Structure 1
Amino acid sequence: MTPLDGEAKSFLGSNSSLNCMVWFLKSGDLSVQANSVLVLKHVLSSDQKKMEEFSRIEVSLEALVKVIKEPVSPTTTKASLLIVYYMVSTSSSSRVDEKIITRFIDMGLIERLLEMLVDCDKSICEKALGVLDGLCLTTQGREKAYANALTMPVLVKKILRVSDLATEFSVSIVWKLSKNDKREDGGVIVEALRVGAFQKLLLLLQFGCNEKIKDKATELLKLLNLHREKLECIDSMDFKNLKRP
């Protein structure tokens, strides 16, 4: 049926078809899982109504996370991340849909994304950061990120090292975490400073970036500067001495 035209998407996006594809993701062999997630990417990415119908199917979100946690191939991982990204980015505009974000968080998606980001290609990195940015819109998502030792080293490492989009998502996540961290010891702001965030953000402003990220980077520099005299800034080149959870 590929390439998928409007009629094909209509058939494949029917409720019975979506239910079948969820079943294939949970129970099918690797090739069936791969085909199903690729079809879902095409059907759901351009239709918000279908996306909402899919999310209401029992174990649909669990099936997507399964493909991310137990990857069949880089192609299927990218497709799954893209579907999740559309879900969490649209959820940000609706309080009711925050339940979707909560379900993803409860399934350990934040921990899995951070592990993936340590070593992945550009495309997966951008999509994983996009999903993480959406998940950190919620208090629960930020708490999970605060608790993970990989969070700040990974995010700071990706600034200016992968792509403009990866840099934008990384700065956005660091900004969300820093802005909302109320711990008296400085929390993630101190962590970010220790792994070289101050230098990275200075470079970002010198190289130039869009206004949206420029404002966030400037605000972050002000927060970091409050603790800068107390700490030695280092470059975040590796993870050898990092305690992983």
Structure 2
Amino acid sequence: MPMYTGGQVLDLETAVKDGILGGGGGGGVICDDVTTPNLGKLDLKKMIEQLDSIEVPSVFICPISLEPMQDPVTLCTGQTYERSNILKWLSLGHFTCPTTMQELWDDSLTPNSTLNHLIHTWFTQKYLAMKKRSQDVQGRSLELLEVLKTVKGQTRVNTLKELRKIVTAHESARKTVAENGGVSFVSSLLGPFTSHSVGSEAIAILVNLQLNSDSITNLLQPTKISLMVDVLNEGSLETKIDCVKLMGILFAASDIVPSLSLLVGVLRLVKDKRHPHGILAGLRLLKIISTQESLGNSIISIGGVPQLVEMLPHFNSESLELCLYVLKVLSSIPHGALALKNCSNLIPNLVKLLMKTSENCTKFALSILLEVCKLSPEESAATAVNAGLAAKLLLVIQSGCNPELKQLSSELLKLCSQNCRASIFISKCKLTRTLQ
């Protein structure tokens, strides 16, 4: 039986032979065997859902919904659609073909059994191949866990590397490892006498697994945290990022106080302009740990404030928002506000950022400026107004942004006007004499 698509009449063999479905001749998706048995045993809807990320041949796609067809029917014009979609089109009073806009001389729908069979065959093959790969990686994951219990030295490192590659690439492998005691076992490999090569691979595996409360409690043991800090400060860039991600998970679920060595390592990662992924991971961890005042004081004590301020112009929008959040938290601590005031480039940098990225960035920047200006009103207000702050604040107040931003801007504008010479304030605001 022929199949109709795009005005062409195709048969099953021609579709595969000519590469339309990626058969022997083309660079498309391969349909290896169109005679797969027992097709009726597999539910097409389920297969389509589980293969949602795979590239589907265009002839399988309904022109109306742009989704794979499960019950293709053909109109008198030769165009094929998903039955439910074309029925809805017709029920709305349309008597034309949606693709060609030709008037229908016959509104009957002909089931396209050839295309239906081909769709079912293609999805079945892809689904079975996916299941086989999944079963293979699950079995290999279990084998590697068993091997790890008996090997030492470089063999252990190599085995961990292979397991890390599998769990990084396959969700089914991650689930298998977690369900078979893998989290507990890999965690047990971290200790005071663990080599950095073993520690790096173990951390890279753990950061990909789902950790429950018991696993987190186990990993928060001082000897394990100490090893993570050592690996953070001495490992490769990839290892540093894995360490920071794992510690972010651990610290988010506990009140543990990180060591100064850990904070130094995180700040060093954030300062490395060459690696945006490392910057982002480091800032996410700083956001988690800065919310506790004692930890905020630790960041301040090791010179974290000027380092973060220096990096502001180099961050992308996501990193910038995280950094400004951290600085906002630190500005609420007296020592933090003082450290920010002592950064000569802080106010000009923050003024430039207002209304340039997100509302959150503007809100955090305004909060920081308000805290700094409160600390030394006359000095900071003059610097801020000269940097163009007053004009920016008027812009925020007149914009359609949220009330919180307008409130912050009003407070800051009032503070500046009270602590800056009137002539300078007016000229920098670009106010007319009437507004004055």
TM-score for the superposition, normalised by structure 2: 0.47
TM-fit CA distance, 1:71: 5.5
TM-fit CA distance, 1:125: 0.9
TM-fit CA distance, 1:234: 7.8
Match for residue 268 of structure 2 among 66, 81, 84: 66
- The residue identity in structure 1 corresponding to 2:249 is H
Q: Which residue does 2:249 correspond to in 1?
A: 42
Residues 152 and 192, structure 1, Cα contact 8 Å, conserved in 2: yes
Pairwise mapping of residues 220-235 of structure 1 onto structure 2 (< 5 A)? 220-226=412-418, 227=420, 229-231=422-424, 232-233=427-428
Q: Which residue does 1:200 correspond to in 2?
A: 392
Q: Which residue does 1:76 correspond to in 2?
A: 278
Give the stretch that moved more between structures: 18-27 or 71-80. Answer: 71-80
Cα separation, 1, equivalents of 2:274 and 2:233: 13
Alpha-carbon displacement from aligned partner over 1:37-89 (angstroms, at most 9, x marks no partner): 122233333x1x1xx32x24462222222222345621121111111122222
Match for residue 212 of structure 1 among 384, 394, 404: 404
Query: Closer, same or farther in 2 for the Cα pair 1:224/1:63, shift >3 Å?
Result: same
TM-fit CA distance, 1:176: 1.0
Match for residue 292 of structure 2 among 68, 72, 90: 90
Match for residue 359 of structure 2 among 152, 164, 181: 164
TM-score for the superposition, normalised by structure 1: 0.80
Unaligned runs of 5+ in 1: 92-96, 236-245
Cα separation, 2, equivalents of 1:200 and 1:58: 38
Pairwise mapping of residues 92-241 of structure 1 onto structure 2 (< 5 A)? 97=294, 100-181=295-376, 186-226=378-418, 227=420, 229-231=422-424, 232-233=427-428
Residues 260 and 302, structure 2, Cα contact 8 Å, conserved in 1: no
Q: Which residue does 1:7 correspond to in 2?
A: 212
Cα separation, 2, equivalents of 1:57 and 1:9: 22
Q: Which residue does 1:19 correspond to in 2?
A: 226
- The residue identity in structure 1 corresponding to 2:220 is S
Cα separation, 1, equivalents of 2:421 and 2:296: 34
Aligned length: 220
* Structure (1 or 2) with the larger CA radius of gyration: 2
Q: Which residue does 1:240 correspond to in 2?
A: none
Alpha-carbon displacement from aligned partner over 1:17-45 (angstroms, at most 9, x marks no partner): 33221111112222221221122233333
TM-fit CA distance, 1:233: 1.8
TM-fit CA distance, 1:136: 1.2
Cα separation, 2, equivalents of 1:129 and 1:75: 17
Residues 381 and 416, structure 2, Cα contact 8 Å, conserved in 1: yes
Unaligned runs of 5+ in 2: 1-205, 431-436
**What secondary structure, in the 3-state scheme, does the structure 2 residue paired with 1:224 have?**
helix
Alpha-carbon displacement from aligned partner over 1:196-235 (angstroms, at most 9, x marks no partner): 1111111112213333332221111111222252324289
Alpha-carbon RMSD across the aligned residues, in angstroms, is 2.4
Q: Taking CA–CA contacts closer than 8 Å with sequence separation of 6 or more, which of the two structures ends up with the larger relative contact order? A: 1
Query: Closer, same or farther in 2 for the Cα pair 1:113/1:221, shift >3 Å?
Result: same
Query: Closer, same or farther in 2 for the Cα pair 1:89/1:214, shift >3 Å?
Result: farther
- The residue identity in structure 2 corresponding to 1:30 is L
